[in-house]
Amino acid sequence: MIEISNLQKCYGDTKVLNDINVEIKKQDIYGLLGVSGAGKSTLLRCINGLESYDEGSLKVNGVEVKDLSENELRGFRKNVGMIFQNFSLLERKTVYQNIALPMECWGYKKSEIDKKVKKLLDLVELSDKINSKPNELSGGQKQRVAIARALTLDPQILLCDEATSALDPSITNSILSLLRKINKELGITMVVVTHQMNVVKQVCNEMAILSKGKLEAKGRVEDIFLDKPDVLDELLGHSQHSFTSDNGIDIEIIDRNGSQKGSLLSSLAIETGVQYSLVWGGMDKYRDKVLSNFIINIKEEDKINVIKFLNDKNVEWREA
């Protein structure tokens, strides 16, 4: 649905997007992570045609965005909704009027607007705030209004620029649940720009990490967190596992698909007779999937036995 290849963008002499290659499929929720200044928002603005790019290709539904005329761009943007960290609502207008605005600009009939706004208010669970002004709403409610407004023209794509960064954790969770519901029920493809790890883990299926305008890692969210590329450590500000031991061998047991049985470690002890110590263990949730991963420490002489056991059981492992 969105194909980006060898994309380059400069502001003056500074290259802010450098050889970006990304493919976003229909109904993906694609996370774009990176520290401030990495180029995430610039890439998002290239996707909706608000910014042009210098080299490479950016196609949405097979159409090269750079080649669109001003008039075509207007029609193209109808297909791409956007929400922001600061909600961008008009303070003097009511919730109803804010949501109705894009349809009014496009000259829809009043009855059609009325039907659509009420349907969207129901979707974002704000029907009781229909006549409220933004200053009477909480941050989470304001973002719900912004989401409804972004959906009025039936876009196929929703771009979310740090949409939950100004919200507290419980409100963030409710907005993320709403985004997943919209993705599932309306089949909308989403690109989620964020610096919050929990956001990508909760809603995204695929992700990419940008650093200084370069795309340093991309793939399934769980694979990125399990493979721990250096750029992820940079983003987290620390190494993910500093729990290694001084003696023996540390073996990391990896579960990518939630298929690992809870009894694996006790089977290991029973079947091999090897005594291990648990160095690190953790469960992580990715969307609806829970993955359990461990690091165990064993003696050098037990290594062959343990590795044979893990290989026989088709369990992925690596020396930590």
Q: Which residues bind ligand ADP (CB under 6 A)?
A: 11, 16, 34, 36-42
Min dist CB 12 to ligand ADP, Å, is: 7
Nearer to ligand ADP, 56 or 102 (CB): 56
Min dist CB 139 to ligand ADP, Å, is: 20
Min dist CB 127 to ligand ADP, Å, is: 34
**Contact between 1 and 24 (Cβ < 8 Å):** yes
Nearer to ligand ADP, 44 or 95 (CB): 44
Nearer to ligand ADP, 18 or 79 (CB): 18
Amino acid letter, 5:
S
Nearer to ligand ADP, 123 or 193 (CB): 193
Nearer to ligand ADP, 16 or 146 (CB): 16
Min dist CB 174 to ligand ADP, Å, is: 24
Residue among 29, 10, 30, 28 nearest 18 (CA) = 10
Min dist CB 286 to ligand ADP, Å, is: 23
Nearer to ligand ADP, 214 or 256 (CB): 214
Min dist CB 22 to ligand ADP, Å, is: 15
Min dist CB 55 to ligand ADP, Å, is: 16
Nearer to ligand ADP, 35 or 68 (CB): 35
